[in-house]
Structure 1
Amino acid sequence: MPQQLAIIVLVDVGNALEMKTLDGNTYLFDNMRLHGSEGQGTGELVTAIHGSYWRDGSQASEQVLNWLPYSLGSIPPTVPRGYQADRARQTDQQALSELSAMVQKPPNAGTDATTQLTHIQQTIGTRVRSTKRTRGPAAQKVLDVTGNVISYDGSAAHSYPPPVITDVYGEAVDKKIMYPAEYGSPDMVTDGWYWSATVDSTRPGTYGYTMAIQLHRLLLQGGDWTWEPVDLTCESKIRISSEPKRNAFTKSGLGLLPIPPA
């Protein structure tokens, strides 16, 4: 059965958009640190991949890579997938309740209608218009890093949508070392889509590859706030080693366990 290797792609989206590069703003992790991976927590990750073969030289097992992109300083990825939609509905209902109460009774002493309407407007928050250019978020409200809906004015701190991997290519793909593809999954954390690749572990060596990553910048266009897509790239490597298939107990060739007779 293929071994599943996970690679976390953690992006400082705010700095990456400001600097217009992922260099120095991307932190890569995998679950093979104890097996030889190097550069954990940096942009220079080299993922260790242990290949194995049978006595006749044929491949014993495949290795599978899974890339999971996350945004640094945004809403945690562990919240439910429909979290933003739920928060938007809650603020709409709250604003309608406050507006209904305002209509049914006069403003409180010392509080005019303009002040109350301003408060309701802040409760509603800012809705972002969807565009056809982005593969990321659809029409939604702007949230801060704590998950609260905010009325965005261009200066307030807000939560960025998670990065979106749009392609995986480069040396490892050109040499047919790995075969990447995008898959759908019911996993609520990965939002239904993730990139995965099967690796040919019969060809030892170090190979580079490139990830095309799409970030989103909040931009005011024609009086509407929109998520503008920004496409950047990130480099990484895999290192494949190969050794004969062994018995996990005896560390020798496959066969019967050395259990002495009773």
Structure 2
Amino acid sequence: MPQQLAIIVLVDVGNAIADGTLDGNTYLFDNMKLHGSDGQGTGGLVTAINGAYWADGSQASEQVLNWLPYSLGSIPPTVPRGYQSDRARQTDREALAELDALAARPAAGADTAGRLDKIRKSVGTRIKTTRRTSGRLSNEKVLDVTGEVVGDLGTGSYSYPGPIITDIYGEAVDEKIMYPAEYGSPDMVTDGWYWSATVDTSRPGSYAYTMRIQLHKLVVQDGQALWHPVNLTCTSSLRITSEPKRNAFTKAGMGYLPVPMHAPPTEGYAGTDAVTESARSTG
């Protein structure tokens, strides 16, 4: 059965967009730290893959990699799926209640204008729907990392959408060391899609690969806010080692487990006295 290995791609989206690069703004982790992976928590992760082969040199087991991208400084991906929509409806209800209360009061001049401006900010800003930003990135309100709507987009204190891996390529793919592909998943944390790859563990060595990652920058055009895609790349690598497949119990080669011969029980045996005496004598 293939082994499963997760690689976390944590991106500081705000700084990466400001710098125009993922270098210094990406932090990679995997679950092989105790088995030889280097560079945990940096952009230079070297993932250790400990392969195994049979006596004839054929691959004994393959490795399966799963990449999971997350955003640093954004709303956690573990909140309920409809969280943003729920917050948008809640702020709309609150704004309507404040408008009703304002309408019930006599005209108050400057005070009325101030309260209307406060209501406008509490309503927040919705993202414009475009062909490129349809789905989860459109028609939602802009929120900050605490879940509050953002009324002033000029502050820059808003939660970015999570990074999206759009391609995995490079030496490890060209050399047919790994075979990456995007798969559908019922896991809504990854929006129903994730990148995975099988690895040929019978070919020891170090192999680099590159991830193309799409971020989104908030821009305002013609008075409307929208998420503009920004495509950047980062590089990581695999280090494959191999050894003969061994029995986990005996540390020997694969085969039948050695089963020691046991003498018949000497006490509590329900057989005849003769058998019992014989067992005791050979005891």
Q: Structure 2-normalised TM-score?
A: 0.87
Point out the more displaced range, 229-238 or 47-56.
47-56
CA 1:202–1:107: 2 relative to 1, 3 Å = farther
* 1:52-92 CA-partner distances (Å, limit 9, x unpaired): 12222222211111111111111112212221112112111
Structure 2 distance, partners of 1:233, 1:153, is: 27
Change in Cα spacing, 1:156 to 1:233, as seen in structure 2 (3 Å) is: closer
Letter aligned with residue 140 of structure 1: E
Q: Tell me if the contact between 1:142 and 1:152 (Cα under 8 Å) persists in the aligned partners.
A: no
Q: Deviations over 1:7-44 (max 9, x none)?
A: 01111111111110111111100001111111000111
Q: Which ranges of structure 2 fall in alignment gaps of 5 or more residues? A: 263-283
Q: What is the match of residue 162 of structure 2?
A: 162
| Greater fraction of residues in helix | 2
Post-superposition CA distance 1:161-198 (Å, at most 9, x none): 11111100011111111111111111132221111111
Given that 1:10 and 1:70 are in contact with CA atoms closer than 8 Å, whether structure 2 keeps it comes out as yes
Q: Which has the larger radius of gyration?
A: 2
Q: Secondary structure at the match of 1:78?
A: coil
CA deviation string 1:186-234 (max 9, x = no partner): 1132221111111111111110000001111111111111111111000
Q: Deviations over 1:113-154 (max 9, x none)?
A: 222222221221111113333487222111111111121331
Equivalence for 1:210: 210
Aligned with 1:141: secondary structure?
Answer: coil
Cα distance, 1:51 vs. partner? 1.3
Cα contact 1:125–1:149 (8 A) shared by 2: yes
One-letter amino acid of the structure 2 residue matched with residue 84 of structure 1: Q
Task: Tell me what 1:130 maps to.
Answer: 129
Query: Could you tell me which residue of structure 1 aligns to residue 144 of structure 2?
Result: 144
With 206-215 and 239-248 compared, the bigger mean Cα shift is at 239-248
Q: Secondary structure at the match of 2:188?
A: coil
Q: Distance in 1 between matches of 2:172 and 2:142?
A: 39
1: distance between equivalents of 2:106 and 2:189? 45
User: Offset at 1:255?
Assistant: 2.6
SS at match of 1:249: coil
Equivalent residue pairs, number: 261
Over aligned residue pairs, what C-alpha RMSD do you find? 1.9
Aligned to 1:235: 235
- Deviation of residue 245 (structure 1)? 1.3
Aligned residues of 2:16 and 2:25 also touching (Cα < 8 A): yes
Instruction: Describe the SS at the equivalent of 2:14.
Output: helix
Q: Quote how far apart the aligned CAs of 1:111 are.
A: 7.7
Unpaired segments of 5 or more residues in structure 1?
Answer: none
SS in structure 1 of the partner of residue 91 of structure 2: helix
1:115 alignment counterpart: 114
